[in-house]
Amino acid sequence: MNIGSDKFLFRNTNVEDVLNARKLERDSLRDESQRKKEQDKLQREKDKLAKQERKDKEKKRTQKGERKR
């Protein structure tokens, strides 16, 4: 009977360590994913602006050519 009650006195800290490690890994992966998502969003905005600028330059160049005719 004494052995059965001893089980409750000791905790399996290895299981807790493993669970904590998994939680930390999940958290870091989530943070990394969020950071990548934000970077991708910024890159898309940058690309969109660059595309618009190229379009505007082409439009101006075309208009100048039409004026010369």
DSSP, residue by residue, 13-59: HHHHHHHHHHHHHHHHHHHHHHHHHHHHHHHHHHHHHHHHHHHHHHH
Q: What is the pLDDT of residues 9-37, one digit of tens each?
A: 666 778 889 999 999 999 999 999 999 99
Number of domains in the chain: 1
- How far apart CA 32 and CA 38 sit, in angstroms, is 10
Q: What is the pLDDT of residues 39-51, one digit of tens each?
A: 999 999 999 999 9
The answer, as to whether pTM is greater than 0.75, is no
pLDDT attached to residue 39: 98
Q: Which domain holds residue 63?
A: 2-68
